[in-house]
Chains A and B, each alone.
Chain A
Amino acid sequence: MALWKPDPTFYPSPRMASEGPREKLAYVVAFNPDPANGRHDALCVVDTDPQSWRYGSIVGRVEVPNVGDELHHFGWNACSAALCPYAPHPHVERRYLLVPGLRSSRIYIFDTKPDPRNPKIVKTIEAAEIAARSGYSRPHTIHCGPDAIYVSALGAADGGGPGGVFLLDHDSFDVLGRWEVDRGPQYLGYDFWWHLGYDVAITSEWGTPNMIENGPDLELLTQSKYGHQLHLWDLRRRRHLKCFDFGPEYQIVLELRPAHDPTRAYGFVCVTLSLKDLSSSIWMWHREGGDWKIRKVIDVPAEPADPDLLPPALKSFKAVPPLVTEIALSTDDRFLYVSCFGTGDLRQYDVSDPFNPKFVGAVRLGGIVSHGPHPKAGALNGGTQMLEVSRDGRRVYVTNSLYGAWDKAFYPEGVRGWISLVNVGADGRMALDPEFFVTFDGERPHQMRLEGGDSSSDSYCYP
């Protein structure tokens, strides 16, 4: 149904978005890491309203009808990009959550209205439809664009490459087809985002389904076969523009966080592993003159550790790699949050000057060796992984699982799922919220989406 006025959760600019009301609910997917037991994955609703007596608890839970989907990332049907001037459709609702299964390649579409605590599955896009119409499978990142819903995919239906991007109609959710007209040298896929103000899209590289679905492959890793490139695209003409190669030392190029301000042409990407010293790094792409460049702006070193405390895959290295697998940029583009799945650190950097990030502080939750504690639960297992920053930048939600098949390599004892909350004070300093702690029984939470949008759900056409 069309609305009479623009959806109140659509904001012309990131500044207006950060002034919007606080989220009272959050959605989180929880997957069953052991499908043999027959349990279904679920979309859960978390109460995030501190005034509510159920604050920090799960108040809604909808199971999907199949087993083994591995719900992972997800996104809204529409967001602030609907206000973009060239393809305006401001009277649609932010209402449907598109939730892909990373293993099954199905996309479940949940309707969050009329009861946002009790979403209903209204449509399922089957893997066969995605494969037939786009050639892709393993849908990952969902972004509501000005003209369609964009979905990145890790590979082809047979588990090989290439990975890429396909489009869904934002009205009917029909698969419209492959996005790329000319993919150039790009083969591996993972994340996808854009600079709407510059008609530029960016994609990153992990591996094809065959390279990742049985866990990290040490042979592929040592041969530098996982992704080590970043690709720049002409968003309008759907053509490959430029490839940035980090070099074979760097492996696994994941989350893309372009500046929210559409007039600013820079963004951050995390590289999970350096084969030289197990460090992780963060790189910044930026436009200079008419050209795009990239440089390393943050290094996160590995931490020496007693081999007895390390899982088999890491014993010989005598160190815990930070495994930066997620980064999040606050809506005002001021703080970059860096998630270290290996050490458990949530690191905060002031990136007001994106060329010179300043380390502000860290909170340690879980970690392979340190098991950073929470006041409500004591020592934690798993490690800081998915992050979601509220629009006002005052809260960072954290979950602790990476991906079923890869969790095993780093946490062989299994990951016991939790969600924590880190508050960011008016002075910009992080502090762990002692009250908010959500646990899962046998399930692992992954991405979260906050009511009315969050710092990674929306893109804007106006500064």
Chain B
Amino acid sequence: MSGAWPWIAVALLGAYHGVDPSMGWLFAVALGLQDRSRRRVIAALAPIAIGHLVSIAAVVALVAGAMAGGFVWLRPLGAIVLIAFGIFRLRRPLAHPRWVAMRVGFRDLALWSFLMATAHGAGLMLFPILMAMPAEGQSVAAMPHHHMPMLAPGGHLGPLAAGVVIAVHTGAMLLVMGAVAIAVYEWIGLKILRSAWINLDTIWAVALIAAGALSLVI
């Protein structure tokens, strides 16, 4: 598989996390309202994006490293992690990190965002996309020693490609998060939460499981 779609998917996932109130924009708006300062809203975006980035990067780096090392169990292992995490999210839909509170500095916010993204499985969802990234210099067909397609290690994700994945995802997240945060702070108001904060947890959990299954066949 190749072409632009993995990049589009990476960006769309980023945008999705940007829209999700629990991933960061709501915290930025809350801090701005507390201090009556739009600058506070904007200042909160960077640490939130950095925390998100680190969470994503951890997964991408693990996958890229495993690919580079020719780890043959990467595909099934990744699939199992995704499916297991999806099942956990289904069984404990109300579970959420309990950390920090309203008085947060740069480091607190970044760490909070890292925890939220990790607990959400934000990086995990990239796994099937990473597995489908265009191979650089090798292909499944060129590796005859892999008889079972399930154990095909997928593409080789070079450091550059890995970096671009992280940048595209976090960039899209930051753009959308920033736009939503400013729009809600300046014009829309928090009443929007009461109607628009749709519970996508179940859908997200099912999507994690589906992504796990998909990564076995992609």
Contact = CB atoms under 8 A, between A and B. Distances in A.
How would you classify the secondary structure of chain A's contact residues: helix, strand, loop or mixed?
loop
Nearest to A200: B103
B199 A10 contact: no
Interface string B186-218: 000011011101110110000000000000000
Contact of B33 (A3, A199, A463): A463
A84 B103 CA distance: 13
A321 B104 CA distance: 45
A13 B146 CA distance: 59
A89 B92 CA distance: 12
B148 interface: no
A354 to B, nearest CB: 19
Interface residues of B, number: 33
A198 B102 CA distance: 7
B34 A263 contact: yes
A219 B199 CA distance: 57
Contact of A90 (B30, B101, B193): B193
B98 A85 contact: no
Contacts of B198: 4-5
B94 A89 contact: yes
B21 interface: yes
Interface in A427-463: 461-463
A148 interface: yes
Contacts of A215: none
A146 B101 CA distance: 9
Contact of B194 (A10, A84, A87): A10
A372 interface: no
Given A263-B34, A462-B33, A197 B102 contact: yes
A86 B36 contact: no
Nearest to A16: B191
B9 interface: no
Given A5-B198, A6-B193, A462-B30, A88 B102 contact: no
Contacts of A5: 194-195, 197-199
A446 B34 CA distance: 35
A6 B194 contact: yes
A327 interface: no
28 contacts: A2-B94, A2-B199, A3-B199, A6-B193, A10-B194, A12-B194, A84-B30, A85-B29, A86-B99, A87-B97, A88-B22, A88-B96, A90-B193, A90-B197, A91-B94, A91-B199, A91-B201, A92-B94, A170-B94, A171-B94, A171-B95, A197-B102, A236-B100, A236-B101, A236-B103, A263-B36, A462-B29, A462-B33
Interface of A: 2-6, 8, 10-13, 16, 83-92, 146-148, 170-171, 196-199, 235-236, 262-263, 461-463
